[in-house]
Amino acid sequence: MPVEMLSKIPILQPKKRKRRICVDLDGVVCEYDFPKIVKGFFGIDLSAQMIFAYDLADVLGVAPSLINTMFKEQVYGKPNLAEDAIETLKEWKSKEYELVIYSNRVKYMGHDGLAKWLIDWQIPFHGIDGGQGSYDVHIDDSPSKLMTTNSKLKLLFDQPWNKRCHNITGKLQRVYSWKEIRDVCSLLDS
């Protein structure tokens, strides 16, 4: 091919890939007053500081089935949304980031029920999965869920039940608000 022909070949720029972000709902997008919920269901007083583990069955010393029953009553209602969560998710959706929900709610609501709930409460998302995909960012309040996903950036949303996480691998980055999450993720765009 003559050299002058080479200059006419368009240079293809690699298409910028959408960022894939995995987001947990409960304890991250939705806030709960767990001491109030425990008081209403079990009739006992429990401070937020007494919740030392992600699994409330371990904290309370009860069967997981009782915790499941307690949560069934909570997951279908109006969410108490964390400050800046919806705004951030809407911003990411406008940037064409893929928003994947990875939530334990699936065991109560199923995929279709959870999708309908997300739509009803106008929580932006593109899909629901069980953490099987690969993600650029995963945001969760469960250290173990974060560590089981194939995600480049693992953001541990600070909650009383994960404060004792030792993060011995150094792979978790603790965040305290959605504003901080947005700031950390914007650094990836630079």
CATH number of the domain residue 92 falls in: 3.40.50.1000
What is the total count of domains within the chain?
1
Read off the pLDDT of residues 40-62 as tens digits, 9 standing for 90 and up.
999 999 998 898 888 899 999 99
Residue 98's φ and ψ, nearest 5 degrees, are -90, 120
Flag whether 180 is in a domain.
Answer: yes
Flag whether 47 is in a domain.
Answer: no
Q: Give the pTM.
A: 0.86
Distance CA 80, CA 105 (A): 15
Is residue 120 a contact partner of residue 40, using CB atoms and an 8 Å limit? Answer: no
74: Cβ–Cβ under 8 A, 6 or more apart, which residues?
A: 32, 37
Flag whether 159 is in a domain.
Answer: yes
Confidence of residue 9 (pLDDT cuts 50, 70, 90): low
- Per the structure, the complete domain to which residue 20 belongs is given by 10-31+81-189
pLDDT at residue 14, rounded to an integer: 46
Residue 63's φ and ψ, nearest 5 degrees, are -70, 145
Flag whether 37 is in a domain.
Answer: no
Flag whether 75 is in a domain.
Answer: no
Is residue 180 a contact partner of residue 154, using CB atoms and an 8 Å limit? Answer: no
Flag whether 86 is in a domain.
Answer: yes
In sequence order, what E strands does the chain have? 20-23, 98-101, 127-128, 134-140, 150-157, 172-175
| 40, amino acid identity | G
pLDDT reading at 12 higher than 80:
no
Distance CA 70, CA 33 (A): 13
Share of the chain above pLDDT 70, in %: 91
What average pLDDT does the chain have? 89
Flag whether 54 is in a domain.
Answer: no
Question: Residue 138: which of 30, 28, 22, 27 has the closest Cα?
Answer: 22
